[in-house]
Amino acid sequence: MRRNSASVPPADMRLRPELRLDWCSHQAARFAVTKWHYSRSMPVPPLVKIGVWEGGKFIGAVLFSRGASPDLLRPYSLTQIEGCELTRVALTEHVAPVTRIVALAIGFLRRKCPGLRLIVSFADPRHGHHGGIYQAGNWIYTGETAPTVEYESAGGRRWHARQIGRSGVNTQFGARRVTPKLKDCIKHEYPGKFRYLMPLDPEIRERVEPLRKPYPRAKQATAGHPPDGGGAAPTRALQIRQEHDHEGPQAEADISQGDRGQPRQASA
């Protein structure tokens, strides 16, 4: 009897390791960001931290936040609780396409936060990113942001201009935080970033669709800016697997499972 080929997955699908997403701890997210993201720094809280496992192994994290600017959603007539920013996609070597991982993370987020209506993300041309994974995911490109200013503190950490001040104390989203002082930092000026939008309901899509512009090309990101590995959504491995071996047993425990145990919430 002839086997029905439609019931047999293609060979490449059978060989592809299982991909799972679940909540992860702050320590696990920080491990991923400091090891596999070019910024080497965590975004400003509050954060939504989604861990990614492939073949049962922790391969990174996808982080959503309110973003550095309290005005992130104002151009779209939305409040801070109606949208968020995709701020980090920190992954080590993996098989699944980054676009697929991001799409699953967004679905995971939407089930947890059904009131969300819009996600904003940025591709940084000075790190060689033009937003290829957003383009593959049919995000809406709306142009470049204004040039940005960052401050480099002792130790090399970069701070957005809104995150620090003259006094060494700054308020963001109602929380006062101790930060470096302006006089103790090195000022850096950079060109704007490429802005992408992902509407989460038909009304918002209709509202932002007129803002759509032609997608930028990769050469627009690399012109004058030698590419670094990784990005807000890296398209390849950023670090070798052996770096896991340098972490202590507690870190290994946290990155091997989610906050509630083995990852199980989203899979593909």
Q: Environment class of residue 114 by beta-carbon count within 10 Å: exposed (0-12), middle (13-18) or buried (19+)? A: exposed
pTM for this prediction: 0.71
pLDDT value at position 233?
Answer: 40
pLDDT value at position 161?
Answer: 75
Q: Across the beta sheet with 57-65, what order do the strands follow?
A: 140-144, 194-199, 118-123, 83-91, 57-65, 47-54, 19-23, 266-267
pLDDT < 70: residue spans in the chain: 1-14, 172-174, 219-268
Pairing of strands 140-144, 194-199: antiparallel
Q: Tell me where in the chain the CATH 3.40.630.30 domain(s) lie.
A: 9-144+193-257
- 3-class secondary structure, 1: coil
pLDDT value at position 262?
Answer: 42
pLDDT value at position 236?
Answer: 33
Question: So what's the architecture of 9-144+193-257 in CATH?
Answer: 3-Layer(aba) Sandwich (3.40)
Pairing of strands 83-91, 118-123: parallel
